[in-house]
Chains A and B, each alone.
Chain A
Amino acid sequence: MTDTPIPPAPPSRLRRAWESDLFWSFRHAPVAMASSFVVIVLILGAVLAPLIAPHDPFSPGTLNLMNGFTPPGQANAMTGDIFLLGTDDQGRDVFSTILYGMRISLFVGFSAVLLAMVLGVTLGLLAGYVGGWTETIIMRIADVQLTFPAILVAMLIFGIAKGITPPEYRDEMAIWVLILAIGLSDWVQFARVVRGATLVEKNKEYIQAARLIGRTPFSIMLRHILPNVLNPVLVIATISLALAIIAEATLSFLGVGAPPTKPSLGTLIRIGQEFMFSGEWWILIFPAVTLLALALSINLLGDWLRDALNPRLR
């Protein structure tokens, strides 16, 4: 009287099947493959910067002012040194500054998204599961914050945080303040999506079964709901990463972000644009293209992930 097993008992576990499904769709999405290639190359470049970079742009000892404004791929008229992507006004190798700049950009991006994610997922779960006043308060704050452009919120937070840090720590703290500013400006998306997904899951009967068994709300949120709302979180995290990197660049470009002593891609672009019209285009163009490639491929990857994780489109 047993049902015949529906799948002929494959040893595959949900996780493996799920991953292989994802992998299959990945193999059939050239855009996703191309963009992940770009992302991996860029991240590797950033992580391995100390090994790859031909120069250390931050040790004054290796800098030679004479090398300033060397065009890409050409020998410097005075020193004869050749730089792949040229040098800036200080004679720093643009290729190396980009590698090191990406380290800052990616670090800020990842940390900010992590902060936003932890905050947003927690608040979203609470709002969705607990409901009532908790939900009203959290979601009204989110609504208010959404009416301001994220970058404005970030600048505001940045300004406040900078105001309360003592001047001697400012440069050192700048990165952390950036992370805080971008992270706090970005949690709303996570919270809204997680709340929505939680409302759906909460009404499913497996949650009632867990309540019946006597599980605490905390354990239900953590063990039952959280694993089931992670898919959209993953997608948003990816797209947020692209946005966070751009936000960081924008802040740094506006001069309120990473200090020139620790330049991120945005800082590099700000420095570069001063030379745009005096003919030294490479100081601006190469960091800008890197930023574009990084943000665009992460974004494309996020788009693909969203479609691939959506069971209805599969």
Chain B
Amino acid sequence: MTDTPVLSVRNLVVEIPTRHGLLRPVDDVSYDIEAGEILGVVGESGAGKSMTGNAVIGLLDPPARITSGEILLSGQPIHNLGRSALRRLRGKKMGMIFQDPLTSLNPLLTVGEQLSETIREHLDVSHDQARKRAVAALEEVGIPAASARINSYPHEFSGGMRQRVVIALALCAEPDLVIADEPTTALDVSVQAQIMALLKRLCRERGVAVMLVTHDMGVIAEAADRVAVMYAGRLAELGGVREVLTNARHPYTDGLMASTPLASAGLKRLRQIPGAMPRLGALPTGCAFHPRCEYAQDRCRKDPGPTIDSCDGRAACWFPLATDRKEEAQA
């Protein structure tokens, strides 16, 4: 591991001008991912998880754009690169895996053609070598009879197999960073287990930095090293996965964990967070979570929203929950 993180996001702001005003789906987000590390990003839908990922790989759909902050890939700024420079970086330095494998595969080309094309675009190898590498890549992601399946088209694969192909495609040019946006949400539990095991193994073996976006806390717990919790475009909490999930300091993280059915095992009713996440156009003042927060006080409504840096370095909350709260409650 080097000292410079593979990915370093600093005070990232993404804005979308709309007729109803300026929206900020990503607001002052900062985090690092080291080589070989998996950062899990969780939060309710609309929290800005995908937007953050898309901003990093340069796939924001206009009119959404980065308006401030920086993104450093191995220390090099990439947030101000042009489209073609970014395209060259994607694939070579950054791979991506989306929820729906069909959107990332070209239905008209065989998977072999897509793999060797990507390999040749980024690595200086001959046609034959690229093909060999393509077969190896498919074998590595566990596609049986890879040398035969290489001539199949995407629709000839099942959903789980397709996601394997997408992973092979994302990793074939040996990138340093992989952004996986809900890679298993569309898959069944047993296939999800297969895909996650694969992703974890490849990440570890190759020392790739992974940003794993998902809303499934269980997936995060099993796969991530660190976790970032997002709420209404901001980071609510950022820390080691075990600390954050077992001893949440931000009331939102705490509520999220508590409302999963397992956390209330044996209870008749689940604990729930009241209300719903506000729309971007109608964010409450101060801490965006205050209308739903049971610990909210005057300061939360009046002061500008807390950030992780302005608070204790882990949770963006003026009144973070005590670490030993759980023991207190039990006592």
Asked if A3 contacts B275 (CB within 8 A), the reply is yes
A7-B279 CB under 8 A given contacts A1-B272, A1-B274: yes
Asked if A4 contacts B275 (CB within 8 A), the reply is yes
Q: Is A14 an interface residue (CB 8 A)?
A: no
Asked if A24 contacts B282 (CB within 8 A), the reply is no
Q: Closest residue of chain A to B272, judged by CB?
A: A1
Q: Closest residue of chain A to B282, judged by CB?
A: A8
Q: Is B278 an interface residue (CB 8 A)?
A: yes
Whole-angstrom distance between the alpha carbons of A8 and B19 in the complex?
Answer: 18
Q: Is the interface of B mostly helix, strand, loop or mixed?
A: loop
Q: Is the interface of A mostly helix, strand, loop or mixed?
A: loop
B265: min CB distance to chain A, Å = 21
B273: min CB distance to chain A, Å = 10
Whole-angstrom distance between the alpha carbons of A3 and B279 in the complex?
Answer: 13
Q: Is A209 an interface residue (CB 8 A)?
A: no
Whole-angstrom distance between the alpha carbons of A4 and B279 in the complex?
Answer: 11
Whole-angstrom distance between the alpha carbons of A6 and B291 in the complex?
Answer: 13
Q: Closest residue of chain B to A3, judged by CB?
A: B276
- Chain B residues near A4 (CB, 8 Å)? 274-276, 278, 291-292
Whole-angstrom distance between the alpha carbons of A1 and B294 in the complex?
Answer: 13
- Chain B residues near A8 (CB, 8 Å)? 282
Query: Number of contact residues on B: which range applies?
Result: 10 to 19
Interface 1/0s, chain A 253-265, versus B by CB < 8 A?
A: 0000000000000
B152: min CB distance to chain A, Å = 28
- Chain A residues near B274 (CB, 8 Å)? 1-2, 4
Whole-angstrom distance between the alpha carbons of A8 and B275 in the complex?
Answer: 13
- Chain A residues near B272 (CB, 8 Å)? 1
- Chain A residues near B282 (CB, 8 Å)? 7-8
List residues 37-52 of chain A with CB under 8 A from any CB of chain B: none
List residues 279-294 of chain B with CB under 8 A from any CB of chain A: 279, 282, 291-292
Q: Closest residue of chain A to B292, judged by CB?
A: A4
Interface centre among A3, A4, A6, A24, by most B CB within 10 Å? A4
Q: Closest residue of chain B to A1, judged by CB?
A: B274
Interface 1/0s, chain B 112-139, versus A by CB < 8 A?
A: 0000000000000000000000000000
Q: Closest residue of chain A to B278, judged by CB?
A: A4
Asked if A6 contacts B279 (CB within 8 A), the reply is yes
Interface 1/0s, chain B 1-45, versus A by CB < 8 A?
A: 000000000000000000100000000000000000000000000
A251: min CB distance to chain B, Å = 42
- Chain A residues near B275 (CB, 8 Å)? 2-4
Whole-angstrom distance between the alpha carbons of A8 and B282 in the complex?
Answer: 8
List residues 211-228 of chain A with CB under 8 A from any CB of chain B: none
Interface 1/0s, chain A 1-18, versus B by CB < 8 A?
A: 111101110000000000
Interface 1/0s, chain A 55-95, versus B by CB < 8 A?
A: 00000000000000000000000000000000000000000
A21: min CB distance to chain B, Å = 9
Interface 1/0s, chain B 254-286, versus A by CB < 8 A?
A: 000000000000000000101110110010000
B15: min CB distance to chain A, Å = 18
3 nearest CB pairs, A to B: A4-B275, A3-B276, A3-B275
Q: Which residues of B contact A (CB under 8 A)?
A: 19, 272, 274-276, 278-279, 282, 291-292
Sample of 9 more A-B contacts, CB < 8 Å, known A1-B272, A4-B276, A7-B282: A1-B274, A2-B274, A4-B274, A4-B275, A4-B292, A6-B278, A7-B279, A8-B282, A24-B19
Name 6 A/B residue pairs within 8 A (Cβ), A-sorted.
A1-B272, A4-B291, A6-B276, A6-B278, A6-B279, A7-B279
